[in-house]
Amino acid sequence: MSARPVIGIIGNSYLINDEYPAHAAGLMNSAAVAEVSCCTPLIVPSDPSLVQINDLLATCDGFLFTGGRPNVHPEEYGEEETEAHGTFDRGRDRVALPLIRACVDRGQPILGVCRGFQEVNVAMGGSLYPEIRDLPGRMNHRMPPDGTLEEKFALRHTVTFSADGPFTALMGAQEVMTNTLHGQGIKTAGSRVVIDGTASDGTPEAIYIKDAPGFALSVQWHPEYRAADDPVSKPLFEALGNAARAWKTDARPNLQLKSA
């Protein structure tokens, strides 16, 4: 029996008990990859002093860029840091951004989620608003701070996709309901970043990379929550798994031939 494809999970740095440094990603990400994508989840220590981009590309068949409280540092899109930009994870920035660019170039599958969605946009040269609820006409997309997990991940707004884009094709619907747990949002779209879905207040919610040779979808919501049951989440993780299987069996030999 052949091994399942490996999906590298790009998570965040944490301090356990405010003291013990750790790299971690939510269990719901690993469960979505294992149970819905049918791939092996592998949590990546997102620190450039510990991992090399080429090794990650060689080890994994695809990547999931997860959500996270720390924001992409504004320096990465040419803006000054302000208080509104909040906290950062510079190690993750320095692994995720070049890794996304390499995957897009090679056609290696990626799925960006929330912070991961924002990273994909920044990696492609786009920029972010530090706090979208301060913009005229925008809703508050943040999670209820004191809610239970169920309340935090409750479906809270619609996302409308373009009629002929990849998200409508994948979901079999042009409008879906999603959760929402973010403060930042896309300001300018990066090069080749196509905004394929928006919330009713105009906030970009679903993107793909034009002419990417492989699977390169990202969403501002959290499809990893109840991924096996949710009709909007499930197709995304199934598609990631299918793309990783195709990469493992087809694409890698071609790349090896190319580099031989």
Applying CB under 6 A, which residues contact ligand LF53FM6H? 67-69, 71, 114-115, 181-184
Indicate the residue among 67 and 214 with the shorter CB distance to ligand LF53FM6H: 67
Inter-CA distances, 35 with 16, 40, 178, 228, 229, Å? 27, 9, 20, 7, 11
Least separation in angstroms between CB 258 and ligand LF53FM6H: 35
Position with the least CB separation from ligand LF53FM6H: 67
Least separation in angstroms between CB 184 and ligand LF53FM6H: 3
H or E segment to which residue 48 belongs: none
Indicate the residue among 182 and 248 with the shorter CB distance to ligand LF53FM6H: 182
Least separation in angstroms between CB 115 and ligand LF53FM6H: 4
**Terminal Cα distance for the chain, rounded:** 28
- Alpha-carbon span 241 to 88, nearest angstrom: 30
- Alpha-carbon span 69 to 147, nearest angstrom: 16
- Find how far residue 227's CA is from the centre of its chain: 14
Bridge partners, 195 (sequence order):
207
Indicate the residue among 7 and 181 with the shorter CB distance to ligand LF53FM6H: 181
Least separation in angstroms between CB 163 and ligand LF53FM6H: 28
User: Which residue carries 């899109």 as its tokens?
Assistant: 77
- Alpha-carbon span 45 to 73, nearest angstrom: 18
Least separation in angstroms between CB 248 and ligand LF53FM6H: 28
Indicate the residue among 28 and 57 with the shorter CB distance to ligand LF53FM6H: 28
3-state secondary structure of 216: strand
Residues 6+ apart with CB under 8 A from 141: 132, 133, 157, 180, 181, 182, 183, 185, 199, 203, 220
Indicate the residue among 106 and 133 with the shorter CB distance to ligand LF53FM6H: 133
Indicate the residue among 106 and 138 with the shorter CB distance to ligand LF53FM6H: 138
Indicate the residue among 144 and 253 with the shorter CB distance to ligand LF53FM6H: 144
88 DSSP assignment: B
- Alpha-carbon span 244 to 247, nearest angstrom: 5
Least separation in angstroms between CB 63 and ligand LF53FM6H: 16
Least separation in angstroms between CB 108 and ligand LF53FM6H: 22
Residue 235 phi, psi (nearest 5):
-60, -30
